[in-house]
Structure 1
Amino acid sequence: MSPRSGPPLDGAIDVHAHYVTPRLRAAMVDAGHAEPDGMPAIPDWSPESALADMDSLGVATALLSVSSPGVHFGSDADARRLARDVNTEGAEIAAARPDRFGLLASLPLPDVTGALAEVEHAFDALGADGITLHTHYDGKHLGHPEHEPLLSALDERAAVVVLHPTSPPCWEAVSAGLPRPLLEFPFETTRAVASLVLSGALERHPRIRFVVPHAGAALPVLADRIAAFSLISGGPPIDVAGALRGLHYDLAGFALPRQLPALLALADPDRLLYGSDLPFTPAPVARGLAEALAADATLTAEQQRSMRRGAAEALFPRFARPGPPGAAEPRPDDRSLRGDQR
């Protein structure tokens, strides 16, 4: 069998994978998001199709999260119910296959009170592995003072928080009719992380483990500019480079050939994680990207192993395998896992 005919990855942990429950799909359509963020359609998803795609890539475990536009479509009460529904269903999927799926819980932001209640429920009742946060809520990026109570609660739990971009509030004026993931998503991610850095939120909440999507978006090329402008902000000095180096970065999307080398000037290789962006990235595209990543020489063999598993095992230790971090081992077959609980 040629290398390209088999799975390109070797037991990877995918920290950037999405799920779409029937309840979420119906809510999105009812709220006018049948073409989310300007994309053609809401992709089909089921645990069975996800497992097939994961096996094709060689992904052992996927951390499931809700993508943009999230769960809040205008009503706080409805958003609280929808967040609880999708988180409960995600937890049930993960409990049925604890070797294959984890859960990054969604919050009904900008309802901070509801979000705090859902953090407690997600971790204490559902056993969530982490939280997903979008880059802004109601136009307020994550470093905004309104989010301070939530960040404090997440810091107390040393939570893993995986960021995900969403359309900016001014997308009609700036997107030129193009799907917002094309340009707006990378710049939204950059705005959100800059907000966390420049507001001092990262320094105030050092126990939160943030994962930045899409190979750091525009941060690798704008980090020095952000650092320079921080000097004229009038506030206390900020170690922008140090703050960015303390984050984690997934490699979902088009990290090659240019973005990954630029990211390595900003982030240490042991902070890199694998991400597929399934099912919003179609499975054939995700496979092509994974093949390119596996064949690329930018990362050493040891760094490749860390990116695929080791760095994620450090963040999500329940998925760690015996032996050295990131060590590959045969995956148990489905029959041996029936009845297992998380």
Structure 2
Amino acid sequence: MIQRFKDNNIKSFLSYLFFRFSQKIGNRIQRNLNFKGDYQFVDRIQGADKVMIIVAGYKPDLWEMTIPRMIRAVKDAKIDVCIVQPKANENSPKLIEIAEMNSWSYLCTEENKLSLAQNIAIDLHKDAKYIYKVDEDIFLPQGFVDSFMRYYSMSDDAGYDGGLYVPLLNVNGHTYIKLLEKLDLIDDYSEKIESPKSSCTNVKAHYDPEASYYLWKNILPFDETAEKILNSPTDISVCPHRFSIGAFMITREFWSVVGGFKQSPLEAVLGVEEDQICVDCSRHSKPIVVFNNILVGHFSFGPQTKFMTEKINELKAIDEDLVVGELNHK
């Protein structure tokens, strides 16, 4: 019996060693996927402690509305900006021009690997302690960066040690409920779309075109609504489930702890980094902190995009200031 006990202990110890060895090899392979790849980089880094990564390249029809808002949002902020494009395409020359006109950096990976492109860009901005990521279909309000940092400080003072920090997005399966509450539209939305519930994917705010249009037309004029919500009582909360990461801020410290955003071995695979970073928030006991006073527009999710694109002129007619400036304006 004593011998059996010893044998079991040896087997357990050997199993543990094998597990640790496999884990170490797996982590090394994943890190190579996350950070190793060929890329083109136009360096205009100024050494700021903040960087905004703008992921772009596939929705040029939106740029006249979204990019001038990004230009305005960073105008007076001490922040580096880098347009990140996973693999070059016919839109690359325009993105290179936009970056040059605004003294932004530009990075393009040889392969269509979203997380790899973002990780390389973040790694190159060595002095950036705070990393903002926004997709090309995101509409930013005026003063976004400064407001976000102010709420980050307030959340820290309130005891929130977050993994991700996110704004109040209109087309989002979690934050749309808080938006409806602030605009006193819960009953109206329930009648016209569905009874609101919080879910990353299993709600109409995530997939139904009529829901996305509702969540857009009711926040216009955009800047007026954003200012009203910003000036309302301070409202900070946490998201209890996976969050769609079209716009967020992450500290360099936490990004480093989790080994960067997870990259699939295959090209053009979406959602891997979103799933991973939300899991990592839970694993490291870091909440997804929501700044409910900072309204940010998200144009649409995939199933909603065709319908919403057809509605662009209607949105512009409702809000003549939806386009805030020239695309290449410094």
Normalising by structure 1, we get a TM-score of 0.29
Larger RCO: Structure 1 or Structure 2 (Cα < 8 Å, ≥ 6 residues apart)? 2
Say which one has the larger Rg.
2
Normalising by structure 2, we get a TM-score of 0.29
